[in-house]
Amino acid sequence: MLLLQPWFLLLLPVVAWPWIGKGAARDRGQALLRGVVLALVVLSLARPVSLVEDAAPEVVMLLDQSASLASGEADRGEEAATNLRESLPADAAVQTIRFGDGSSLGGALDAAVRALPPTGPSAVVLASDGAATALDWGRALANLRAQGIPVSVLPLADEADELRVVGLRAEGLLREGHPARLIATVAGRHERARLSLHREGEEGAALAVSPWFAVDGRREVALAFEAEQAGFVRLVAMVEGDGEGVDLRAADNRLARTVAVQDPLQVLHLAGRMQDGDGQLAKLLGPGFDLTQPASLDQVNLGTQSLVWLDDLEAEAVPASFQEQLRAAVQQQGVGMVMSGSAAFGPGGWSETPIEEMLPVSFVQKEEKRDPSTTLCVIIDTSGSMGGNRVQLAKEVARLAINRLLPHDKVGIVEFYGAKRWAAPIQPASNRIELERALNRLDAGGGTVILPAIEEAWYGMKNVNTRYKHVLVLTDGGVETGPFESVLRRMADDGMNVSTVLIGPETHSEFLVNLANWGKGRFYNVPNRFNLPEVILKQPATARLPAYRPGPHRVQGRGGLAWWATTDLEDLPPLDGYVETEARPGAEVMMSTVAGAHPLLASWRDGLGRVTAMTMSPVGPDTRGWQDWEPFGTMMAQALTRTAGEAEPFRYTLTRDGREVLLTAERNRPHALLPQAVVLDRDGDLAFLEVAADRFEARFTVDPANPVRVLAGRTRLVADPPAAPELQVDPRAALPLAGLAALTGGRELDGVDFTGLPLRSGAGLLLRERAPWTLALALVLLLAELAWRRRPQGTGGAA
Amino acid sequence: MNFLHLSGGLVALGLLGLAGVLFLLQQLRVRQREVEVVTTLFWREALEENRARVLRQRFRHPWAYLLLLAITSLLWLALAGLVQGERDVRPRWLMLDASAGMLRDGRFDAAKEQLLADVARLDASERRVYWMGAGVELLLAPGEEVPLLAARLEGRTPELVPPLVAASLARWATEAGEAAPEVLLYGDAPIDEATRAALPADWSLHQRTAAPETVAANRGILAAGVGEAASGRWDRVDLTVAVAAQGLALNEAVAALEVELDGAAFELEMVAVPGGDEGLAMLRAADLPAEGGVLELRLPAADGFAADDAVQLHLPERRPLRVALSPDLDPLLGSLLSADPAVVLTRIDADVQVVRTDDAMDLAMPRLVIHGDDGGALFRLQAERGDDAQLLLEEAYEALGLGSIDALGLATSLGRAVTVDAAIGGPAEIRLADALLDPELGFTGSRAFPLLITRALRWLRPSEALLPYVAAGRAVPSEATRLLGAPQVMGAAGEAELPTHGAVAVGLFAPAASLPADRRMTVDDLPAGARAGIPAWTWLVLLALILLVFEGLHYRRGRMP
């Protein structure tokens, strides 16, 4: 027993009053009764209470009053509430909570939990169609389950047949200038319906219109359109019906949502030979690609690029260090790389570079075993200074050089000894005997006059048609003056090289070195017969044939929709030229020539990134015939898009529950960067915490009535307020009422019979007032006291 | 005017009854009297006045009757529980923060004491007391008295959850009824400015308890979770742990971190990674075995807050997919599956079977069927997922990598359209026409083929979605773990069961509790307005007591019958 107003016990002394004072306790019985009455009254003033177990059930009836209910269903709910009250014991408490306009199912369940005591037999009865304006019952469910409160359900019918738009979402990321799909969801029953997509406020002009379709319950319809500008756009999906069907309310035929449109794809375009290549490509590809050509490769941050495009570019234009960076960016950061153009695959010089290894095609320039034809003109100094051993040495060197020549080469011998003379006119090298005789005939005598001999050789070789022309001057280095430099340079311009051989013990002759330099030849010295040089007259011994194949060539496409989307592969025009390559094992070849099946468009993954090779120039003579082919731009855009890597180092997701927003950033490749994001129209960066490996979270609150717009890295994200218009609730998002009953231990009701309504087990606590009982007793005793003191006493009579 | 215990009619009847009873008692001839008559002339008159053996006498002493009627009526009305009629009292919500942070520094006891005192002082008619723990509970309904609150709070302690007061307030603000409440806060759950701004203007917030002036030093684990291994190994996961220290050395806290796997000490090489801050260290460990073990991270519990000193994580269990391969199938399939390190070919306890038509070993088991070409769709899918075959097809298109298949090439080679059918119902099944496996077609040599086969097996028997972490009071961060279509919200830290993942460890991960901000909160006065008063019926009893004494006094003096 507890007292709520114990201070009233201070009045207890009044209980003794009947026994004290003048005239007290004449009648002990009366005094006792009065004392007890006074005591009970004072006790009542102190408000005695006691805690008792309470077995009376408490039930909260949740009545859905939303506009989505079918006609008469709200009244059915009200009747059920009346039936519930009547079926429960008299001491049961029933609270009715009506919800619907602006309040959600989750909110209603939450309110029911808050209305019930923490213990004791209690239950929730939910009369609803289950249509949910927001998927927000998770917390209320957890609370109901934790407190063991069963939820019984009375399913009400909804306006299922009304034609309405119940959802509009983007499929994947929308990007400026790229084809995109919005998925609109239509509910109801209609034999012919059509959806259209509009910009909010411009509903006269449709961005996209779907074909006519039938709806039987729920249907998702894709609307293709192209976002014109990056940013946040309010789009409206509108449905119209034609023919048989229910469409009573015009208001629910329209649904507006905010979508985020990303910036165009960033492409680092490193272009080579093509003049105005950027301009032509930009026109070809459309606005979905932002082609940038850096002034200097030193300042390029490859990690921020989606795609690097080496377009008709020769290897020497790209420093080796940048090539290494590019390889690392593709393989480790997922950057995409495209190489295209006949200049790149032809004589581009990419062989044996880091880039070549990354390509899905190998260069197949055929090597030709080639010994280029050469004309050798040997000029031998037979002046007096060459007497003795020296002229023999010169002859040996000449023999060696001549012996290296093949039959298709040509040889001539000029001797000079103050004058010049053709010892052997230019003739095929196969005339070995004649040449040998000419050499043998030579003997030393006379002066050293070189220039006329060189000029003679020049004139002699001028009309000879061989790949190489070489003049070999064999002398002991007597110095003379003359216009050597101009003569030799002109010879070099005519494709004739002059090498010099110093015969004799001296090791150096500045004069002969100069001759060799001017003549673009080499200088040798021959001190004795044991040091005869191997005079190099021609190189290389093999050569690569040009791999460029001028057209026209018929081409064929292959590969899945992922590469080609809507392009009709049966209709590819012929190509005017390409570079022959060979697909490497494992490469996907999306386009090839019909003849020879040489790859034209091939791709493969390289590390985390993708590399695509186009063995023709996208703009230029190779594709001249394609410029008027309408799908060419789309095809190119698709190839670039497919190759492009994820420039964003994190994959961001924005979810909201009313005012609470969660921004998740998942690292999509190994790196040490940290995510960054701002809420638009609000100051300051969001604070992320890495909550799991490579998963970062930022939590914040927003105005629940407005969309939240976030710029995370370079990704735009938007989340509309979660509550859908009451009449445009997606049937798929309904709260499964039977599941709710099963999960919480409730049951399905018919609205009439509530017997056996599942209640939470256990007794509750109740504070019971005892004052009514003490007051009742006091009242009875007071009346008894009155009767006592008025009771007849003895017999009376007149004296 | 209302009555708590009796109906109005019963009260009126009772009053009438009392009046009648008192009237009868008033007429009762109370006792014999000696009457002296001076002359016998008055004898008859005196005899008539004091007739012997007569109980009733005529009604006399009307004032005495009225006094007694007043006393009994007052007692009767009090007994009936007379209360004042509806008063215009603003609702008052008293919210007791019972989150983990209240375990610190005796905050909960102080808040509870203040709450009980305030409840006693406030009018009970519109006063609600809420327990703000893992969920919201109504501790005291309007009209209920303090002892009930004390009894309901008896033995209860804060729960291991982050504070939910601000979020609850914001949610209720959108659902509140007509009368704007006065909200009294007990505890130091932070109410951020955004929440305050979001509340309707006529709501008022009153902070009734202050945060302690000094915050005990603490070190704790603020976050811990797993993710896919950066090494790319399918049977490994990486771990990230956030360790924070306030008033203690962070380095010592990091060094003191102990790790156990399934109860045994576990050597884990933790390296610091970017993302830390002053007082916060981010640590990462690579390639933990994804074998379903329970990993426990523990800091020495010598600080001011023990709840954040230990965290458990259930590591995912990733075992190879057991595939039963029918022996009469193309050996290429066997070679392909053998090359997948996450697949084990077996004949017993298989997860998925790969069979030729009508060769199914277990009709209930998901299966990949190579069937004779009947001229129908080359690819057929079937699963008990949702109720829309079109959606199933769209989902499978991505999941199976069908977009990578050179459909035109296949169609050209086969001379027929390449189509995919999907159906709802039955055990999960993918049927491929055996024409696709013809080596001359080239499909088996394409990059798309191994992708299709390995993905098909995963589609038929999806692996458990990776749960990065499970935190108290928050939604489970996995789309796969939804409850009746909505994100599943966890309760207090500890063990829990998820329908999709079985037993999971729920971590506290409450920075607000581990690192309370140094907030100087001003304690507001108890709002003016309706205070708790003495009930109306008590005043009636008091008046009745006074009248009883008055009546007794007169009775003693013989002025009352």
- Residues of chain B with Cβ-Cβ distance to A135 below 8 Å are 485-487
Contact by Cβ (8 Å): B115, B130: no
What's the pLDDT band for A444 if we cut at 50, 70, 90? low
- The two three-digit tokens of residue A658, written as one number: 């009313």
Q: Which of B32, B68, B194 is facing A786, going by the closest CB pair?
A: B68
Cross-strand pairs, A420: A416
pLDDT tens for B79-134 read 888 877 666 678 899 999 999 999 987 889 999 999 999 999 888 888 999 999 99
Cα A510 versus chain centre, distance: 67
DSSP class of B103: G
Q: Please check whether residue B35 touches A, CB under 8 A.
A: yes
Q: Which of B79, B274, B487 is facing A779, going by the closest CB pair?
A: B79
Cα torsion through A10, A13, A15, A16, rounded to 10:
170
B226-244 mean pLDDT: 92
Q: Please check whether residue B147 touches A, CB under 8 A.
A: yes
In 3D space, the residue among A51, A53, A43, A52 whose CA is nearest the CA of residue A771 turns out to be A43
Q: Nearest C-alpha of chain A: how many angstroms from B431?
A: 20
What's the pLDDT band for A230 if we cut at 50, 70, 90? very high
* C-beta atoms surrounding A333 within 10 Å: 22
Mutate to test the interface with A, among B137, B228, B560 (most CBs of A within 10 A): B137
Q: Nearest C-alpha of chain B: how many angstroms from A730?
A: 12
Q: Nearest C-alpha of chain B: how many angstroms from A23?
A: 6
In 3D space, the residue among B382, B373, B384, B471 whose CA is nearest the CA of residue B415 turns out to be B373
- Write the secondary structure of B23-87 as one string of H (helix), E (strand) and C (coil): HHHHHECCCCCCCCCCCHHHHHHHHHHCCCCCCECCCCCHHHHHHHHHHHHHHHHHHHCEECCCC
Exposure of B14 in the CB half-sphere (CA atoms within 13 A): 19
Q: Which of B18, B80, B484 is facing A740, going by the closest CB pair?
A: B484
Q: Nearest C-alpha of chain B: how many angstroms from A354?
A: 24
- Residues of chain B with Cβ-Cβ distance to A41 below 8 Å are 75, 541, 544-545, 548
Q: Nearest C-alpha of chain A: how many angstroms from B362?
A: 30
Cross-strand pairs, B325: B354
In 3D space, the residue among A487, A496, A500, A492 whose CA is nearest the CA of residue A469 turns out to be A496
CB contact under 8 A, A790 and B28: yes
Q: Please check whether residue B378 touches A, CB under 8 A.
A: no
SS3 B13: helix
Dist. CA A446–CA A444, nearest whole Å: 7
A543-550 mean pLDDT: 70
Contact by Cβ (8 Å): B383, B352: no
- Residues of chain A with Cβ-Cβ distance to B81 below 8 Å are 769, 772
The ipTM assigned to this model is 0.85
CB contact under 8 A, B76 and A11: no
Q: Nearest C-alpha of chain A: how many angstroms from B458?
A: 21
Strand B92-97 relative to strand B182-186: parallel, antiparallel, unpaired?
parallel
- Residues of chain A with Cβ-Cβ distance to B295 below 8 Å are none
pLDDT at B118: 93
pLDDT at A174: 92
Contact by Cβ (8 Å): B80, B543: no
Interface of B with A in 115-134 (CB under 8 A): 130-131, 134
- Residues of chain A with Cβ-Cβ distance to B22 below 8 Å are 783, 786
Q: Please, what is the average pLDDT of chain B? A: 86
Q: Please check whether residue B1 touches A, CB under 8 A.
A: no
pLDDT tens for A674-723 read 999 999 988 889 999 999 999 999 999 888 888 999 999 989 999 988 66
Give the CA radius of gyration of chain A.
51
SS3 A427: strand
Residue A139 pLDDT greater than 50, yes or no = yes
- The two three-digit tokens of residue B355, written as one number: 């069979």
- Residues of chain A with Cβ-Cβ distance to B538 below 8 Å are 5, 8, 45, 47
Largest separation between any pair of C-alpha atoms in chain A: 205
pLDDT tens for A254-270 read 999 999 999 999 899 88
What's the pLDDT band for A795 if we cut at 50, 70, 90? very low
In 3D space, the residue among B289, B337, B334 whose CA is nearest the CA of residue B313 turns out to be B289
CA angle A527, A529, A534 (to 5 degrees): 85
CB contact under 8 A, B148 and A771: no
User: What sign has the CA pseudo-torsion B470, B473, B475, B481?
Assistant: positive
Strand A468-475 relative to strand A374-381: parallel, antiparallel, unpaired?
parallel
* C-beta atoms surrounding B214 within 10 Å: 10
Pick from A287-296, A645-654, B225-234, B405-414: least confident: B405-414
A131-159 mean pLDDT: 92
Specify the length of chain B in residues: 561
CB contact under 8 A, B477 and A664: yes
Long-range interactions of B441-449: CB distance < 8 A, separation 24+: B441/B410, B441/B413, B441/B414, B442/B409, B442/B413, B443/B405, B443/B406, B443/B410, B444/B330, B444/B332, B446/B405, B446/B406, B447/A586, B447/A588, B447/B404, B448/A560, B448/B401, B448/B404, B448/B405, B448/B406, B449/B336
What's the pLDDT band for A797 if we cut at 50, 70, 90? very low
Inter-helix orientation angle B8-27/B62-80, to 10°: 150
Q: Which of A4, A138, A782 is facing B487, going by the closest CB pair?
A: A138
CA angle A268, A272, A274 (to 5 degrees): 110
CA angle B196, B200, B203 (to 5 degrees): 80
- The two three-digit tokens of residue A325, written as one number: 């960076």
Q: Which chain A residue has the Cα nearest residue B48?
A: A798
Q: Please check whether residue B155 touches A, CB under 8 A.
A: no
- Residues of chain B with Cβ-Cβ distance to A21 below 8 Å are 556
DSSP class of A749: -
- The two three-digit tokens of residue A645, written as one number: 């890597």
Q: Please check whether residue B144 touches A, CB under 8 A.
A: yes
Interface of B with A in 425-484 (CB under 8 A): 447-448, 468-469, 471, 475, 477, 483-484
B482, containing H or E segment: strand B482-483
Q: Please, what is the average pLDDT of chain A? A: 86
Dist. CA B99–CA B186, nearest whole Å: 11
Which backbone phi and psi does B259 adopt, to 5 degrees? -125, 135
pLDDT tens for A125-138 read 999 999 888 888 99
Contact by Cβ (8 Å): B496, B470: yes
Q: Nearest C-alpha of chain B: how many angstroms from A369?
A: 35
Q: Which of A115, A743, A787 is facing B484, going by the closest CB pair?
A: A743
The identity of residue A788, as a single letter, is: W
CB contact under 8 A, A796 and B33: yes
CB contact under 8 A, B167 and A660: yes
User: pTM value?
Assistant: 0.78
Which of residues A446 and B131 earns the better pLDDT score? B131
Q: Please check whether residue B490 touches A, CB under 8 A.
A: yes
CB contact under 8 A, A139 and B273: no
CB contact under 8 A, A49 and B145: yes
Exposure of B364 in the CB half-sphere (CA atoms within 13 A): 1
Q: Which of B170, B406, B486 is facing A137, going by the closest CB pair?
A: B486
CB contact under 8 A, A2 and B284: no
What's the pLDDT band for A439 if we cut at 50, 70, 90? confident
A17-41 mean pLDDT: 83
Exposure of A227 in the CB half-sphere (CA atoms within 13 A): 28
Q: Nearest C-alpha of chain B: how many angstroms from A107?
A: 7
pLDDT at A798: 36
Q: Please check whether residue B292 touches A, CB under 8 A.
A: no
Residue A541 pLDDT greater than 60, yes or no = no
CB contact under 8 A, A658 and B171: yes
Interface of B with A in 393-412 (CB under 8 A): 402-409
SS3 B120: helix
CB contact under 8 A, A220 and B390: yes
Dist. CA B182–CA B178, nearest whole Å: 13
- Residues of chain B with Cβ-Cβ distance to A42 below 8 Å are 545
DSSP B520-552: -PPPPPPPSSPBP---HHHHHHHHHHHHHHHHH
Dist. CA B529–CA A499, nearest whole Å: 115
**First vs last Cα of chain A: how many Å apart?**
57
- The two three-digit tokens of residue B95, written as one number: 């919210």
Q: Nearest C-alpha of chain B: how many angstroms from A316?
A: 34
CB contact under 8 A, A767 and B34: no
Q: Nearest C-alpha of chain A: how many angstroms from B361?
A: 34
Distant-in-sequence, close-in-space partners of A716: CB < 8 Å, separation ≥ 6: A230, A231, A232, A260, A261, A262, A709, A710
Q: Nearest C-alpha of chain A: how many angstroms from B360?
A: 31
CB contact under 8 A, A798 and B192: no
The identity of residue B110, as a single letter, is: A
pLDDT at A799: 33
Dist. CA B401–CA A560, nearest whole Å: 10
Dist. CA B259–CA B221, nearest whole Å: 12
pLDDT tens for B481-527 read 889 989 999 999 999 999 888 899 999 999 888 888 766 677 888 88
Cα torsion through B540, B545, B548, B553, rounded to 10:
-140
Dist. CA A729–CA B330, nearest whole Å: 50
pLDDT tens for A350-388 read 877 889 889 999 887 665 566 678 889 998 888 877 777
pLDDT tens for A74-105 read 999 999 999 999 999 988 999 999 988 767 89
Residue A424 pLDDT greater than 90, yes or no = no
CB contact under 8 A, B53 and A775: no
